[in-house]
Amino acid sequence: MSRIESDRWTSLHAKAREIRRSILTMIHRARSGHPGGSLSAVEIVVALYYHLMRHDPKNPRWPQRDRFILSKGHCAPVLYAVLADCGYFPKEDLETFRRPGSHLQGHPAQHKTPGVEASTGTLGLGLSTGLGMALGAKLRGDSHDYYILCGDGEVQEGQVWEAAMFGHKYRLDNVIAFIDRNYLQTDGSTEQVMPLDPLRPKWEAFGWNTYEIDGHSFEQIIGTVRHAQLQRGRPAMIIARTTKGKGVSFMENEAGWHGTPPNSEQYERAMEELSRAV
Amino acid sequence: MQYKQTRQGYVDALIELARENPLVVVLDADVAKATRTCDFEKVFPERFFNCGVQEENMMSVAAGLALEGFIPFATTFGVFASCRAADQVRNSIAYPKLNVKIAATHCGISTGGDGASHQANEDIAIMRSFPNMTVLVPGDYEEARQATRAAAAYSGPVYLRLGRDTYPVVEQIHGPFEIGKAKQLAEGRDITIITTGIMVSEGLAAARLLGGEGISAELIHMPTLKPLDEEAIVDSARRTGAVVTAEEHSIIGGLGEAVAACLAERCPVPLRRVGVRDVFGESGMAQELLTLYGLRASHIAAAARELLKGRSNALGRTA
């Protein structure tokens, strides 16, 4: 690895740690929210906004921007933390998360928050919405990309497989989607609640270019997206294996942290863990 | 009397609109022949997208197209648009107030032979309840054409309710179409009849029946159910003191309840609702089902007589 690349990973890792702290602070302050899946998706969202996507926080509606759609809308804290850090809105706004009058709703609201591209929340909507946007871009002849992040529990929704067929039919190769494959959902293990494996062959069979990666490795996330961009002709699905609650020892791989805010003591412990050097 | 399809009025307008505006696109869910969007596909194949039997995906895809500046007309049967895809309509379209037009054919009991599973009698109730949603219920071919054009000109989500059968062409409603505006078709002193959708022709016939008995009926047609033209309702109710509503929809959540709520708050007067009672329909010919489920001029006239009888009794007691 070159010196420059090594520095790049170091800075992205530092950014990921900062975003994790921001997520926990937001949820702790709101006394509600979803830490587990927000933490598992951090590297994917950070890689997109700080490395892969062309976007301009000063001009959120720039027509040529790449778009990101958070289909697993309950993980809004990871998106809000990144948008605020990029400068789409003041960081102080994060203190109003889930409060009356705030533009930062419990689930992303496109019409309220600068930088939020689509309203999501009830699961299964975002992939279809992103594909519809990508179809619009094709009709206009635009060349930007659409990145869509789904939860693994989310792909139990029938609408997701409707969308899978639609993306294949219209060859929406301007779509690069991710599944945050942390193997946990609200009620427990995905493989016990409603088994998803073998997941990659399902997407293969639906006609998508598929990849399976370590969803906490910037090298793999960025390398795989770059590879997917060279394999046009079909939409891409990157199954990113992750750890729910990643970065906070007592939250990792615990389904109970899906939608539970940390109490003050837990919050202090988590922040302490996240302040240690990588 | 001439009979034409409201769904054809919709598609004829779509083709006009697509010629005028390159942003108009049509989404279908494997019912293009039934909704008549197949006519659009013939003229604009590159702006027609068949989503297959996927109403949920279609609604969210429509939201995505609207986010990119297009004016999508997502077209399917009323039961699928309002029930199967209710979550997508609510959260993908209505919540962010996106410029998606939802065109629903095969609404009401006159859907006929397909039976209860396909007769949308609850769609108005569902769509009216979503914030940001505009609900249009045109009465004939020409009004459906006008309503489609008005929906395209309006920026925001619109539910456009259409039927399957052929319905009487009603010249009286062919004036200018404005979203949110009722149309007064006859002036009267004794009672107000308010219709929506294809019930307008039955309302006109009921007014004639009552006129023959010396009862002067005012007739108001409401092709927009949301936003409701409350002024037209209150103004007429103040003058006549009694109201009958008539809709090809459940009496729960449709025109009848909308008018009842408006009058209860602003001008309480006796009211009767003509519509499908709280029951599922069944298979049959459209015309026989309209009779069987109490949606004829005779039923409207009977409700009016009943109301007026009640009023004269009440007056008799106070005298």
| pLDDT digits 0-9 by tens, A217-266 | 999 999 999 999 999 999 999 999 999 999 999 999 999 999 999 999 99
Partner residue facing A166 (CB), from B25, B51, B72:
B51
Cα Rg, chain A, nearest whole Å: 18
Partner residue facing A136 (CB), from B68, B92, B97:
B68
Q: Do domains B3-168 and B180-318 have the same CATH topology?
A: yes
pLDDT band at residue B316, thresholds of 50, 70 and 90? Answer: low
Q: Which CATH number fits domain B3-168: 3.40.50.150, 1.20.1250.20, 2.40.40.20, 3.40.50.970?
A: 3.40.50.970
Nearest to B164 by CA among B33, B22, B303, B28: B33
**What are the sequence ranges of the domains in chain A?**
3-275
How do the pLDDT tens digits run along chain A, 278 residues long?
A: 577 777 888 999 999 999 999 999 999 999 999 999 999 999 999 999 999 999 999 999 999 999 999 999 999 999 999 999 999 999 999 999 999 999 999 999 999 999 999 999 999 999 999 999 999 999 999 999 999 999 999 999 999 999 999 999 999 999 999 999 999 999 999 999 999 999 999 999 999 999 999 999 999 999 999 999 999 999 999 999 999 999 999 999 999 999 999 999 999 999 999 998 55
SS3 B193: strand
Q: Is the dihedral of CA B61, B66, B69, B70 positive or negative?
A: positive
B64 to chain A, any CB pair closer than 8 A? The answer is yes
**What residues contact A233, with CB distance under 8 A and at least 6 apart?**
A171, A173, A209
Q: What is the signed CA dihedral for A262, A266, A271, A277, rounded to 10 degrees?
A: -130
Confidence at residue A65, expressed as pLDDT on a 0 to 100 scale: 98
Give the residue on A whose Cα is nearest the Cα of B88: A125
CB-based burial label for B221 (10 Å; 0-12, 13-18, 19+): buried
Which chain B residues have a beta carbon less than 8 Å from that of A65? none
Confidence at residue B312, expressed as pLDDT on a 0 to 100 scale: 78
- Ranges assigned E (strand) in B42-109: 48-50, 71-77, 101-105
The yes or no reply on domain B180-318 and CATH 3.40.50.920 is yes
pLDDT digits (tens, 9 = 90+) for B241-296: 999 999 999 999 999 999 999 999 999 999 999 999 999 999 999 999 999 999 99
Helix axes A158-169, B55-67, angle to 10 degrees: 60
B63 to chain A, any CB pair closer than 8 A? The answer is yes
Question: Which phi and psi (to 5°) does residue A142 adopt?
Answer: -75, 160
Tokens of B178: 């404005």
Give the residue on B whose Cα is nearest the Cα of A119: B92
User: How far apart, in Å, are the Cα atoms of A158 and each of A162, A163, B40, B90, B162?
Assistant: 7, 9, 29, 17, 28
Helix axes A76-86, A3-30, angle to 10 degrees: 120
Confidence at residue B319, expressed as pLDDT on a 0 to 100 scale: 41
Contact state of A135 with B52 under an 8 Å Cβ cutoff: no
**What are the sequence ranges of the domains in chain B?**
3-168, 180-318
Catalytic residue status for B55: yes
Contact state of A109 with B49 under an 8 Å Cβ cutoff: no
The type of residue at A193 is V
Contact state of B96 with A165 under an 8 Å Cβ cutoff: no
* Spatial separation of the C-alpha atoms in residues A88 and A103, rounded to whole Å: 12
Angle (CA) A38 A189 A249, round 5°: 50
B44 to chain A, any CB pair closer than 8 A? The answer is no
* Spatial separation of the C-alpha atoms in residues B315 and A144, rounded to whole Å: 73
Nearest to B229 by CA among B304, B284, B178, B299: B178
The CB-side HSE value for A218 (13 A sphere, CA atoms) comes to: 22
- Residue of B55, B143, B218, B257 marked catalytic: B55
SS3 B245: strand
Residue B271 forms beta bridges with which residues?
A: B243
* Spatial separation of the C-alpha atoms in residues B270 and B244, rounded to whole Å: 9
Q: What is the mean pLDDT of residues B113-142?
A: 98
Tokens of A104: 């930062």
* Spatial separation of the C-alpha atoms in residues B154 and A84, rounded to whole Å: 34
Residue with tokens 């054409």: B145
Contact state of A135 with B56 under an 8 Å Cβ cutoff: no
Contact state of B64 with A170 under an 8 Å Cβ cutoff: no
User: How many contacts (CB atoms, under 8 Å) link A and B?
Assistant: 99
- Best residue in A139, A165, A168 for a mutation probing chain B (most B CBs within 10 Å): A139
**What was the ipTM of the complex prediction?**
0.96
* Spatial separation of the C-alpha atoms in residues B107 and B87, rounded to whole Å: 19
Confidence at residue A7, expressed as pLDDT on a 0 to 100 scale: 82
CB-based burial label for A243 (10 Å; 0-12, 13-18, 19+): middle
User: How far apart, in Å, are the Cα atoms of A195 and each of A128, A190, A198, B156?
Assistant: 22, 6, 9, 40
The yes or no reply on domain A3-275 and CATH 1.10.10.10 is no
First to last CA, chain B: 46
Which chain A residues have a beta carbon less than 8 Å from that of B47? 139
Confidence at residue B181, expressed as pLDDT on a 0 to 100 scale: 98
Contact state of B91 with A124 under an 8 Å Cβ cutoff: no
What single string gives the DSSP state of each residue in B268-300? ---EEEEEE-SS---SS-HHHHHHHTT-SHHHH
B29 to chain A, any CB pair closer than 8 A? The answer is no
DSSP A45: H
Q: How far is A237 from chain B (nearest CA, A)?
A: 18
Q: Are A244 and A225 in contact (CB under 8 A)?
A: no
Give the residue on B whose Cα is nearest the Cα of A109: B96
Which chain B residues have a beta carbon less than 8 Å from that of A169? 52
Nearest to A147 by CA among A97, A205, A82, A197: A82
* Spatial separation of the C-alpha atoms in residues A193 and A251, rounded to whole Å: 20
Which chain A residues have a beta carbon less than 8 Å from that of B70? 136, 139
Q: How far is B164 from chain A (nearest CA, A)?
A: 27
Q: Which residues of A touch B (CB under 8 A)?
A: 109-111, 117-122, 124-126, 128-137, 139-140, 158-159, 162-163, 165-166, 169-170
B65 to chain A, any CB pair closer than 8 A? The answer is yes
Q: What is the mean pLDDT of residues B35-42?
A: 98
Q: How far is A94 from chain B (nearest CA, A)?
A: 21
Confidence at residue B310, expressed as pLDDT on a 0 to 100 scale: 83
pLDDT digits (tens, 9 = 90+) for B230-239: 999 999 999 9
B22 to chain A, any CB pair closer than 8 A? The answer is no
Confidence at residue B317, expressed as pLDDT on a 0 to 100 scale: 54
Contact state of A166 with B64 under an 8 Å Cβ cutoff: no
Which chain A residues have a beta carbon less than 8 Å from that of B97? 111
Confidence at residue A268, expressed as pLDDT on a 0 to 100 scale: 98
